[in-house]
Amino acid sequence: MGISTEDMVRAYKAYTPVRAALRLVVIFAVAVLVPLVPAWSDEACASGRADVPAAAADPAAGEEPVVIEADSTEYHYGAGGTIIEARGNVRATRGDLLVSADYVRVDVGAGALLARGNVLICRGSSVTRCSLFAYDMKTAAGRVLDPEGSVPGVNVRGKEMDVAPDKLTLSDAYATGCDLEDPCYRVTTKRLVIFPDQRVVAEWPVLWLEHLPVLVVPRLTIPLRGERVGWVEGEGYPVPRLGYDPENGFVAGVSYLDRSREDLTIRYDAAYVTRPGGLQLEARANTSPWSGASATVIAGLRSWEGLYGSARCALDLTGSMAQGDASTLSLAADASYRSGTAFDAGLQGGVTAVAKLGPLALNAVARKDLPSTGAVYALPAVDATLGPFGIPGMRVTLSGGAGRFEEPAGGIESTRLYAAVSVSSSPLNLASAGGVHVTAGLSASARRAWYGTGDGIGSLTATASLDGSFGSLEAFGDESPRVVAGLDYTRRVVSGASPFAFDALSSLNQVTADVTVRLNRSWSLGARATYDISGNAVGDLGFSVTNHHHCYDISATWDEQLAEFGLGIRFTR
């Protein structure tokens, strides 16, 4: 468009504001003014627009009029065309567009607009602030110096911004979703591209927590939801993770969720593990190619083991059968492969059909699975669920099924029939006053299975739960409970035995307790433990320490049963 940064700076330095007592209103028709303005919100724009008189339009030219209001307006006529200069409290409007500044210069023939000095560009509910704005109305391209504004949910500023019909490009840009004067996190980048209502793309961005740089990636995509940025957990920004588990040892890596396209979601994971030692890479894609269809593909590499991957596709066959009722019919197929010697190494997968007719759900499968107990073949199996039914104070669900299964490790192939019933109560409010909230709940289930081998197994399980929150603490503008606690008692009685390892059940008689204490606005501690009453032993210990910030939490966790340590960041705003 021929507008350079040097030209803009030279024009800015040459400007001397002139005040005049007389306010003039100049109406003229020009080409479309700024068809694209960044969607940066500010309520001040709503009351700052000037209405465009209908008489100002030029029907012959097919142009919508532009209205200029200023303390002083000058016309310059020459061979090159008309130039209009407006000074002092200038407001140029066209339709729902408003440009206000200390000085505005319009070259009508060239279709060029220059605004400088406290520039504000508004369109509807959106706004851009800058020191200098140059725009070529014929090519729909322009340049902004020192832009500053916000997409709802994210504040953005930069050194320069190039305006094009389909995108905005900022240099030396800064973005954050934190509304504090000193943001608790931000992303800085040399180049930030905004595709309105679609996505924001940053090249070689740096993620800062407080004033500490924690992550650098080659490319970062932040999806936009209309006028809102998708700042949700793991979406739009890479999330570092650090942990420990028995299989992989210490794990250090990063996860990134890309939802820049409405019909495609891709999650990238990269990590280094110390046991056996190596790099693990994975990409997981979810897509909906057309209405009623979905697919998931996973591809990965473990440097010490080899490739692995899986694919799953599903098709909703409901069509016209669901005419206002709850009837659905779907079909899915999946397959996965893992190299190496782990218990789930090899090929597994199958076909699943699901039908829902009102409160009745039917599930038919033919597949091979690789649980930790060994390979299991369903040849095939059908399950049915009826409910849940709501009756006063509780909900009831009935289920049952039949199938033929094979477990090569045990050399067993047999049919299985089963029936089950489960009942759960509605939450019972025991206390809700003075910062104390306590609820209780009860649930019970009974199950019986019969096998072609003559074996049978039955179980009866009951659980009582108690949950409460106590006190309150102001933290970052919100009220948080001081203490959150839960207590569960579970009793399961088993009679008989199953010939299959995957279908085995054991008795339970245990109490599980968990508590989280908010020490202050910045720190909280959590603990969990299970007490086996029959074995007189404490197990399943878990601990957590969380450092809270205005927009994110950093948590360190330890799970004794899994021998797993984790360190993660969770964005909360």
Angstrom CA distances, 64 to 48, 122, 162, 514, stand at 19, 17, 25, 66
Q: Give the pLDDT confidence score for residue 143 in this predicted structure.
A: 86
Q: Give the pLDDT confidence score for residue 124 in this predicted structure.
A: 59
Structure tokens at 318: 């409901």
Mean pLDDT of all residues in 293-316:
92
Residue with tokens 């969990």: 528
Phi-psi region of 359 (alpha: psi -120 to 50; beta: other; left: phi over 0): alpha
* Terminal Cα-to-Cα distance of the chain (whole angstroms): 40
Mean pLDDT of all residues in 225-248:
63
Q: How far apart are CA 548 and CA 349, in angstroms?
A: 42
Closest CA to 399 of 452, 361, 441, 429: 361
Give the three-state DSSP class for 54. Answer: helix
Residue 65 has pLDDT above 70, yes or no: no
Residue with tokens 């990063």: 254
Residue 364 has pLDDT above 60, yes or no: yes
Q: Give the pLDDT confidence score for residue 125 in this predicted structure.
A: 55
Largest Cα separation within the chain, whole Å, is: 105
Q: Which amino acid is at 28?
A: F
Mean pLDDT of all residues in 485-503:
95
Residue 171 has pLDDT above 70, yes or no: yes
Residue 347 has pLDDT above 60, yes or no: yes
Residue 411 has pLDDT above 50, yes or no: yes
Residue 32 has pLDDT above 60, yes or no: no
Residue 17 has pLDDT above 60, yes or no: no
Residue 399: pLDDT band (50, 70, 90) is very high
**How many other β-carbons are positioned within 10 Å of the β-carbon of residue 60?**
7
Q: Are 255 and 249 in contact (CB under 8 A)?
A: no
pLDDT, tens digit, 9 for 90 and up, residues 249-267: 888 888 888 776 778 889 8
Mean pLDDT of all residues in 452-463:
96
Residue 43 has pLDDT above 80, yes or no: no
Give the three-state DSSP class for 43. Answer: helix
Q: How far apart are CA 30 and CA 97, in angstroms?
A: 13
Strands (E), 426-563: 428-433, 436-451, 456-470, 473-475, 478-480, 483-496, 508-518, 523-532, 537-548, 552-559
Residue 122: pLDDT band (50, 70, 90) is confident
The length of the chain is: 573
Q: Look over the chain and give the mean of its residue pLDDT values, rounded to a whole number.
A: 80
Structure tokens at 153: 């949910």
Mean pLDDT of all residues in 335-360:
86
Q: How far apart are CA 284 and CA 257, in angstroms?
A: 9
Give the three-state DSSP class for 572. Answer: coil
Q: How far apart are CA 474 and CA 497, in angstroms?
A: 54
Give the three-state DSSP class for 13. Answer: helix
**Which residues, other chains included, contact 199 with Cβ-Cβ below 8 Å and sequence gap of 6+?**
221, 222, 223, 224, 260
Phi-psi region of 71 (alpha: psi -120 to 50; beta: other; left: phi over 0): alpha
**How many other β-carbons are positioned within 10 Å of the β-carbon of residue 106?**
25
Residue 78's H or E segment, with its range, is strand 72-78
Q: How far apart are CA 562 and CA 247, in angstroms?
A: 10
Helix, strand, coil % over all residues of the chain, rounded to 5: 5, 65, 30
Give the three-state DSSP class for 361. Answer: strand
* Bridging pattern class, strands 436-451 and 24-29: unpaired
Q: Give the pLDDT confidence score for residue 398 in this predicted structure.
A: 96
Share of the chain above pLDDT 90, in %: 35
Residue 61: pLDDT band (50, 70, 90) is very low
Closest CA to 388 of 354, 422, 362, 418: 422
Rounded to 10 degrees, what is the CA torsion of 69, 70, 71, 75? Answer: -110
**Which residues, other chains included, contact 54 with Cβ-Cβ below 8 Å and sequence gap of 6+?**
none
pLDDT, tens digit, 9 for 90 and up, residues 499-519: 998 889 999 999 999 999 999
**How many other β-carbons are positioned within 10 Å of the β-carbon of residue 128?**
27
